[in-house]
């Protein structure tokens, strides 16, 4: 038994210590800088279209700062307020409930925006305020910083 143990321990140490270390990974290029509050803050104007259409459904203006946007539209009387958070290269927002311009109850708009210099583009969707998981209308939007 002792002979087996004497032979096994050096063998185990040799096998355990003889593994080759993986070479360190090649250095990766630095990830692009994330979106900042300074990128989002300001006055933005643009148009929104129903998904699948190139025709502007409405013309909007947003004034954004510190996680909040105030929005107006030529086609809708109500002003809406959004709160947003920055995640990576996007801002993700949701409005407080507003009167449905098509009639009925109140709706909430959810949006995801991507910024590139003074340009913005993204997607939005409206749903009933009392059914937050429902989607009634999908939109795409684009605009520029003033």
Percentage of the residues of the chain whose pLDDT score is greater than 70: 77
Strands 98-99 and 80-87 come out as unpaired
Task: Tell whether 24 is covered by a domain.
Answer: no
CATH number at residue 100: 2.40.128
3-state secondary structure 71-82: EEECCCCCCEEE
Q: Tell me how many degrees the CA angle 127-129-132 measures, rounded to the nearest 5.
A: 65
| Total count of domains within the chain | 1
Distance of alpha carbon 89 from alpha carbon 77, whole angstroms: 31
Is the pLDDT at 93 greater than 80? The verdict is: yes
Region 36-42: mean pLDDT is: 96
Tell me, what's the pLDDT at 22? 61
Range of the domain at 51: 45-145
Dmax (CA) of the chain: 92
Residue scoring higher pLDDT (51 or 100): 51
CB-based burial, 64-75: b 16+ in 10 Å, e otherwise: beeeebebebee
Tell me, what's the pLDDT at 51? 92
Residue scoring higher pLDDT (25 or 65): 65
pTM metric for this prediction: 0.74
Is the pLDDT at 50 greater than 90? The verdict is: yes
Tell me whether residue 82 is exposed, middle or buried, using C-beta atoms within 10 angstroms of its C-beta: 0 to 12, 13 to 18, 19 or more.
Answer: buried
Task: Tell whether 83 is covered by a domain.
Answer: yes
Task: Tell whether 7 is covered by a domain.
Answer: no
Residue scoring higher pLDDT (61 or 24): 61
């Amino acid at each position: 038994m002792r002979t087996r143990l004497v032979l096994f321990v050096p063998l185990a140490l040799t096998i355990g210590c003889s593994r080759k270390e993986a070479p360190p990974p090649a250095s990766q290029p630095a990830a692009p800088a994330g979106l900042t509050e300074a990128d989002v803050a300001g006055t933005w104007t643009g148009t929104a279209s129903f998904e699948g259409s190139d025709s502007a459904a409405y013309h909007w203006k947003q004034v954004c700062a510190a996680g909040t946007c105030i929005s107006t539209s030529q086609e809708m009387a109500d002003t809406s307020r959004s709160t947003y958070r920055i995640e990576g290269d996007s801002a993700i927002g949701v409005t407080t409930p507003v009167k449905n311009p098509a009639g009925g109850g109140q709706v909430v708009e959810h949006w995801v925006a991507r910024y590139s210099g003074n340009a913005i583009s993204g997607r939005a969707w409206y749903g009933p305020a009392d059914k937050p998981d429902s989607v009634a209308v999908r939109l795409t939007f684009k605009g520029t910083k003033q």
